C-alpha cells in the first residue's frame, strides 16, 4: 500500500468514493467488448479505481462465462492474469475482495480459486504512482475519482504534484487517471470510462487533449443523468467515454504541415453545418419559455449571434430530440416535450419529411447534443466579411452556421490564423462572391481554403 496518511485517504474516499450503478457497468463493458461471448482467455482488463469492485465483479462474471464457452479450464492460473483492479482505500479494497469472492462462488467457481482471484485481482495501492512502463492491457474500464485539484488533501496533493506529469496536474483528479490508463492500454485496446466531459473543453485539460485525441478513435461520449449513473445522489454531469487506442496521430496547425497539408481537409479537420429543424418555432425555445424537460435543451446559436471573436447569445435553446444512438426520443417519457410539440402538430405533420414516412415530430436533420459538445469554431454561412468565433458551451448552431472541429479539439491554434480577417483572406479565390458582395462560407470552401501556406 502507498504511504499516504490514512486520514487523508479516508477524506479523499469520502469526497469522491461514488460507485457506479450495475447497469451502467454492464453498458460500458459491452461497449468495449468485454463480454461472455468474446474469447477473453488472452485479454487483460485494468480497473484503475476499483472502489468496492463493481466493475471487476461484472468483468469476472463475464470472464468465467467466456472461458467456459471456449472450453478453457476455470482455474486460478487461467483467471488471475486477466484482471487488475487498483484501490487506494484499504476498507473499500477489503470489501471489493469479499464481494468478488462471493460473486465467483455464486457462479460455481471453486472456493479456493475464488479466494485466490479475489486476492490477486485487487492491488491496495495508488494507481497514479504505479510504474508507467507496466505490462499493457487489452481493455480498461472504470469510474475514476472526480475531485478538483484544490480539494485534494494536502499531503496527497503534494505527492501528486511532485511525481505526476506536470501538465496532468492542477485541474481535476480524474485527468491523470485517464492519462495513465491510456498509457497502459496496448495499441488497438478498448477503453470505457464513466467520467466528466470537462476534459473536452476546460483549459486544464489542453495538454491531455493534445496528447491523446490523435491516438484515440472515440466511438461514444454519451451523457447520462447522474441519478442513473451512480449509486448515490451527487451533483455531477457524467458521460460514457468509449475509445480505441490507435497509433497514427493526426496533425494540427501548430505542427509542421505535411507536404500537401495547407487546407483543413489535409490537416484532418471536419466541418459540419448546423441541423435543419423543419419549423423552428416548435423546436427552439425563446428566453423565458420553460415547457420542455431541461435535460433535453442545449444553447442554440444562429448566424446573427456569431460576431467576430465572440458569440452574442440571445438565450435561445433547442430541443435535442435524438439520443446519442441516433434514435428519436420516445415522447411518452417526456410529457412536457410532448405537450409542446402537440401544440405544433398540425404544422409539423404537413412537412415534406413527414409526408414521406417520417415520424411526425422528427426534425429534418438529427439534433443530438453529443454531436456538438466538442469545442468548435462557428462560421456564418453567408457574410459580407467572413467572421469566426469559438464555442465551448456545447451549443448547437442553426442551419445557417458551419462548425469546424479540430482533430485534437485544440481550436485555438486555428482560430489564431482565421481571426481578424484571416478567414476572409483564406477564402479569396476559393469562394465566389454573390449578389451584394457577400461571401459563401460553405463546407467545401472551408475545407479547401489554403489555411496554411507550404512555407509556414
User: For the residues 342-354, what does the mean pLDDT come to?
Assistant: 92
Contact 18, 230 (CB under 8 A): yes
Side-chain-facing half-sphere of 223: CA atoms under 13 Å? 21
pLDDT at position 85 is 96
- pLDDT for 332: 93
User: What number is the average pLDDT over the span 352-365?
Assistant: 89
Whole-number pLDDT of residue 452: 57
pLDDT at 261: 42
- Percent of the chain with pLDDT strictly greater than 90: 60
pLDDT at 164: 94
Distance CA 419, CA 444 (A): 19
Average pLDDT over residues 209-232: 82
* pLDDT computed for residue 221 by the predictor: 78
**pLDDT on residue 113:** 97
Report the distance separating Cα 344 and Cα 323, nearest Å.
21
pLDDT at 5 over 80: yes
Mean pLDDT in residue range 290-297: 94
Residues 125/48, Cβ–Cβ less than 8 Å: no
Closest CA to 177 of 63, 81, 85, 78: 85
Residue 453 has pLDDT above 60, yes or no: no
Question: 375: closest CA among 364, 389, 361, 391?
Answer: 391
| Residue the block writes with cell 461514488 | 18
pLDDT of res. 158: 93
Q: What is the mean pLDDT of residues 217-234?
A: 78
Q: Which tens digit of pLDDT belongs to each residue from 95-126?
A: 999 999 999 999 999 999 999 999 999 999 99
Would the pTM of this model clear 0.75, i.e. be above it?
no
pLDDT of 451 over the 80 cut: no
Question: What confidence tier does 24 reach under pLDDT thresholds 50, 70, 90?
Answer: very high
Residue 180 near residue 130, CB atoms below 8 Å = yes
- CA 370, 373, 378, 380 torsion: positive or negative? positive
Would you state the pLDDT for residue 244?
A: 93
* C-alpha–C-alpha distance, residues 169 and 390, integer Å: 25
Alpha-carbon Rg of the chain, whole angstroms?
25
Neighbours of 195 (CB within 10 A): 23
Average pLDDT over residues 205-219: 86
Q: What is the mean pLDDT of residues 341-360?
A: 91
Confidence category of residue 254, pLDDT binned at 50, 70, 90: very low
Average pLDDT, the chain: 88
pLDDT tens-digit map of 149-167: 999 999 999 999 999 999 9
Mean predicted confidence (pLDDT) in 377-383: 93
Q: According to CATH, where is 3.40.50.150 located in the chain?
A: 6-245
Crossing angle for the helix pair 154-163 and 6-16, nearest 10 degrees? Answer: 90
Percent of the chain with pLDDT over 70: 93
Whether the pLDDT of residue 132 is over 80: the answer is: no
Q: Which residues pair with 196 in a beta bridge?
A: 238
DSSP per-residue letters across 306-342? EETTEE-----EEE--B-TTS-B--GGG-HHHHHHHH
What is the dotted CATH code of the domain comprising 6-245? 3.40.50.150
Nearest to 339 by CA among 323, 322, 319, 325: 319
Confidence of residue 384 (pLDDT cuts 50, 70, 90): confident
pLDDT digits (tens, 9 = 90+) for 37-74: 999 999 999 999 999 999 999 999 999 999 999 999 99
What is the pLDDT, as a whole number, of residue 283? 97
Supply the pLDDT for residue 440: 85
Amino acid at each position: 500500500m502507498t504511504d499516504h496518511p490514512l486520514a487523508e485517504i479516508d477524506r479523499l474516499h469520502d469526497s469522491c468514493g461514488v460507485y457506479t450503478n450495475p447497469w451502467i457497468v454492464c453498458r460500458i463493458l459491452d461497449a468495449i467488448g468485454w463480454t461472455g461471448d468474446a474469447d477473453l482467455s488472452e485479454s487483460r482488463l485494468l480497473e484503475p479505481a476499483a472502489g468496492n469492485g463493481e466493475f471487476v465483479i461484472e468483468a469476472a462474471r463475464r470472464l468465467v462465462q467466456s472461458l467456459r464457452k471456449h472450453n478453457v479450464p476455470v482455474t486460478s492460473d487461467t483467471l488471475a492474469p486477466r484482471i487488475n483492479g487498483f484501490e487506494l482505500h484499504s476498507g473499500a479494497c477489503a470489501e471489493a475482495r469479499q464481494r468478488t469472492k462471493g460473486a465467483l462462488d455464486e457462479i460455481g467457481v471453486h472456493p479456493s480459486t475464488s479466494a485466490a482471484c479475489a486476492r490477486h485481482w485487487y492491488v491496495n495501492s495508488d494507481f497514479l504512482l504505479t510504474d508507467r512502463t507496466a505490462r499493457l492491457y487489452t481493455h480498461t474500464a472504470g469510474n475514476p475519482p472526480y475531485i478538483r485539484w484544490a480539494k485534494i488533501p494536502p499531503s496527497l496533493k503534494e505527492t501528486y504534484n511532485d511525481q505526476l506529469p506536470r501538465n496532468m496536474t492542477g485541474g481535476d483528479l480524474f485527468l491523470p487517471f485517464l492519462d495513465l490508463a491510456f498509457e497502459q492500454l496496448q495499441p488497438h485496446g478498448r477503453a470505457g470510462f464513466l467520467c466528466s466531459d470537462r476534459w473536452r473543453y476546460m483549459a486544464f485539460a489542453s495538454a491531455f487533449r493534445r496528447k491523446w485525441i490523435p491516438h484515440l478513435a472515440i466511438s461514444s461520449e454519451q451523457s447520462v443523468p447522474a441519478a442513473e449513473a451512480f449509486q448515490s445522489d451527487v451533483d455531477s454531469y457524467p458521460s460514457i467515454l468509449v475509445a480505441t487506442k490507435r497509433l497514427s496521430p493526426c496533425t494540427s496547425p501548430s505542427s509542421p504541415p505535411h507536404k500537401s497539408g495547407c487546407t483543413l481537409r489535409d490537416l484532418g479537420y471536419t466541418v459540419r453545418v448546423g441541423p435543419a429543424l423543419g419549423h423552428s418555432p416548435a423546436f427552439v425555445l425563446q428566453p423565458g419559455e420553460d415547457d420542455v424537460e431541461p435535460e433535453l435543451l442545449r444553447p442554440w446559436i444562429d448566424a446573427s449571434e456569431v460576431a467576430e471573436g465572440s458569440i452574442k447569445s440571445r438565450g435561445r435553446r433547442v430541443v435535442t430530440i435524438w439520443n446519442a444512438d441516433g434514435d428519436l426520443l420516445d415522447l411518452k417519457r417526456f410529457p412536457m416535450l410532448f405537450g409542446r410539440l402537440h401544440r405544433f402538430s398540425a404544422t409539423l405533420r404537413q412537412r415534406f419529411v413527414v409526408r414521406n414516412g417520417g415520424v411526425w415530430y422528427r426534425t429534418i436533420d438529427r439534433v443530438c447534443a453529443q454531436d456538438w459538445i466538442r469545442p468548435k469554431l462557428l462560421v456564418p454561412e453567408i457574410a459580407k466579411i467572413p467572421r469566426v468565433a469559438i464555442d465551448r458551451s456545447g451549443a448547437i448552431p442553426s442551419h445557417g452556421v458551419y462548425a469546424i472541429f479540430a482533430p485534437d479539439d485544440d481550436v485555438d491554434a486555428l482560430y489564431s490564423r482565421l481571426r481578424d480577417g484571416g478567414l476572409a483572406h483564406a477564402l479569396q479565390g476559393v469562394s465566389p462572391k454573390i449578389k451584394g458582395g457577400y461571401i459563401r462560407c460553405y463546407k467545401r470552401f472551408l475545407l479547401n481554403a489554403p489555411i496554411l501556406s507550404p512555407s509556414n
